[in-house]
Amino acid sequence: MRVESAHDTFPKLIAANAQRLSRKIAIREKDLGIWQSFTWQQYFDEARLIALGLASLGFTRGDKTAIVGDNRPQLYWAVAATQMLGGIPVPLYQDSIEKELAFIVDHAEARFAIVEDQEQVDKLLRVKPQCPRLQYVVFDDARGLRDYREPCLLSLADLQERGRRFAAEHPNHVENEMARGGADDIAIICYTSGTTGAPKGTMLSHRNLILAAGNAVEREGLREDEEVLAYLPMAWVGDHIFSYAQSIVTGFTVNCPESGATVLSDLREIAPTYFFAPPRIWESILTSVMIRIEDAAWIKRRLVHACFALAQDMERRRLTGQPVPWWRRALYPLGAAFVYGPLKDNLGMRRIRRAYTAGEAIGPEIFVFFRSLGINVKQLYGMTESSALVAIHQDGDVRLDTVGTPLPGVEVRISEEGEILYRSPGVFQGYYKNPEATRQTLADGWVHSGDAGFLDADGHLKIIDRAKDVSRLADATMFAPKYLENKLKFSPYVKEAVCVGQGRPYVTALVNIDFVAVGNWAERRNIPYTSYADLAQRAEVYQLVQGEVARVNRSLAEDERLRGTQIRRFLILHKELDPDDEEITRTRKIRRGYIAQKYAVLIDALYGSGDHVEVDARVTYEDGRTGSVRANLQIMEVDAVPAPAAR
């Protein structure tokens, strides 16, 4: 695929859509309980007005606009408006604390910020002294901002009004600036919330994004009539590809949910045809399904579990290439009529033609569960540096333990150390103002992914773990922590887990319970608790988690290479791992180095002989204040499971 010069930037593509698909819905937002629609013509017009408003404030080519907020049409328009003027949008995570926000706004040298509401305005006003280049903060929702008198503030409506006046004197300003743009301009800077060190600004050009998006559209057969739900953070490259780049390249419709809390009901109303979720969302959907089933009458429960077992067995056989007995195939339509169909309908997944999971490895059990319902879930592998897209499962060639085959135009090879390297049209232009990091990641045109993996005989890419996380126990047994953690996390009761074992005699785990699922479980058993910390330390909960760990050990015992990495001791943490405490990233990747340091006392205790440990932990509240929590944590042992007897 190549980029034509008439359509070599996103603004030009939007203008083309406004011509070709002028009456087709480009984006919807649920507001005041109703799905409000905007056509491609409106998309272009609104973005153009914002661009004119920015121009009236002196926006010049190369200026950066920080964009902060939930997924809102206005913020997508702000991205397009910035690009129309040859500027560079810098989307930020809406739940960033001030320190992160200040770093990125300052590092990106943003002169403009376009944000959703008072919450973001407050944060920006507080960090403004540390960001000397920041001149204007534009907000969409004026609520609560009535008495703000800061001269740098203006509403989006005012900005567009300024744009109207500016257009009277400079009618062709936006069109002229658009014409000056080209495929190799930087289209966006996505700051990655790395698991180590300060965030890095990944620069992607229009060419990168148009080709990466276009190649995936071609391979996956995406159409103009797709519907997607834009609910993942705009700062994340995945959302930028699915809700912006691909939507503009094909013309399909993006739907913005009413609020973060309504995503699941909005999902049901929209019933997207094309859906993307990281493993944690799939997990939480599965958890909510399982909780509701446990609350049902026993006969329904039995029926549902029997149907699930049937479908999952079939799917497992299919994925591993084994034949499916005829009688199971005969029973499946019954299950579809009574269980799978209604369930999919309830989840808003009835119309899904393709769904992806990415960002982290997904537990095989979770993957099989959704596929067995007849939802075409596939793994996708990519990262910000590759415009999100490296490999995808091809329809009809989905495997349990791979992330699919490389997309068109992507070359993958494995370095001698076992690291995955790739080269593609989507490969980024470098990290903003960080040539050192760029050199490390982008050696001679190949991106060093930092993931350990290999290509199998059929060209499928398999990921083992982060290259730097794969290590060995004291007796040289290979230890891939994430693999064990994912197995633990399949349990609806385990939200997060951190496995430790490098250079140690055996593996131990720090576990986060799922407050909703375990809370519900406790209530059904009349187990009283007051708080998360209290619930986590109940003896009954420890037994529950012990059972889950034992399940993981049993499955590890079946695999010769992994038998030695069974979890022997564990404890349940008194607090949830939280990005505000820097324990996990905003995309929920575990920051092992930091955790090892912060919880050194706990880890030492896990390798000691005691059955409890005292801890004094620092917590950061959402407003940036810190406090501390003191707790006495139990440590529990789990028996190792011997290898199954040879048959």
Partner 1 sequence: MTAPLLEVQQVSVRFGALTALSEVSLTVESGKILAIIGPNGAGKTTLLNVISGFYHPTAGRILFEGRDRTHLSPPDVAELGVARTFQNVALFKGMSVLDNIMTGRLLKMNGSFLLEALYWGPARRQELAHRAVVERIIDFLEIQAIRKTPAGRLPYGLQKRVELARALAAEPRLLLLDEPMAGMNVEEKEDMCRFILDVNAEFGTSITLIEHDMSVVMDISDRVVVLDYGRKIADGLPEHVRKDRAVLDAYLGVSHD
Residues contributing to the site for partner 1 (CB under 8 A)? 31-34, 143-144, 146-147, 258-259, 261-262, 265
Pairing of strands 253-256, 405-406: unpaired
Minimum Å distance from CB 388 to partner 1?
29
Element (H, E) at 238: helix 237-239
Q: Is 557 exposed, middle or buried (0-12, 13-18, 19+ CB in 10 A)?
A: middle
Minimum Å distance from CB 31 to partner 1?
7
Minimum Å distance from CB 585 to partner 1?
24
| 15 φ, ψ (degrees, to nearest 5) | -60, -40
Q: Which is nearer to partner 1, 31 or 614 (CB)?
A: 31
- Per-residue DSSP letter, 363: P
Total residues belonging to the chain: 647
Minimum Å distance from CB 26 to partner 1?
23
Q: Which is nearer to partner 1, 30 or 574 (CB)?
A: 30
Q: Which is nearest to 113 in space by CA: 68, 174, 71?
A: 68
Q: Which is nearer to partner 1, 263 or 293 (CB)?
A: 263
- Is the separation of the CB atoms in 320 and 314 below 8 Å? no
Q: Which is nearer to partner 1, 5 or 265 (CB)?
A: 265
Q: Which is nearer to partner 1, 97 or 421 (CB)?
A: 97
Minimum Å distance from CB 297 to partner 1?
19
- Is the separation of the CB atoms in 504 and 473 below 8 Å? yes
Element (H, E) at 194: none
Greatest pairwise CA separation for the chain in angstroms: 85
Minimum Å distance from CB 263 to partner 1?
9
Minimum Å distance from CB 141 to partner 1?
9
Q: Which is nearer to partner 1, 34 or 179 (CB)?
A: 34
Q: Which is nearer to partner 1, 60 or 259 (CB)?
A: 259
The 10 Å CB-count burial string (b at 16+, else e) for 83-121 is bbbbbbbbbbbbbbbeebbbbbbebbbbbbbbbbbbbbb
Q: Which is nearest to 478 in space by CA: 597, 565, 559?
A: 565
Minimum Å distance from CB 629 to partner 1?
15
Minimum Å distance from CB 265 to partner 1?
7
Geometric angle at alpha carbon 390, from 205 and 4, rounded to 5°: 40
Alpha-carbon torsion (498, 514, 527, 617), positive or negative:
positive
Tokens of 193: 């919330």
Q: Which is nearest to 437 in space by CA: 205, 94, 130, 107?
A: 107
Cβ contacts of residue 224 below 8 Å, gap of 6+? 21, 24, 250, 251, 252
Q: Which is nearer to partner 1, 609 or 628 (CB)?
A: 628
Q: Which is nearer to partner 1, 346 or 632 (CB)?
A: 346
Q: Which is nearer to partner 1, 144 or 644 (CB)?
A: 144
Which residue has tokens 């004291």?
Answer: 474
* Distance from chain centroid for Cα 346: 23
Classify 155 as helix, strand or coil.
Answer: strand
β partners of residue 617:
629
- Is the separation of the CB atoms in 73 and 27 below 8 Å? yes
Q: Which is nearer to partner 1, 31 or 175 (CB)?
A: 31
Minimum Å distance from CB 282 to partner 1?
20
Minimum Å distance from CB 261 to partner 1?
4
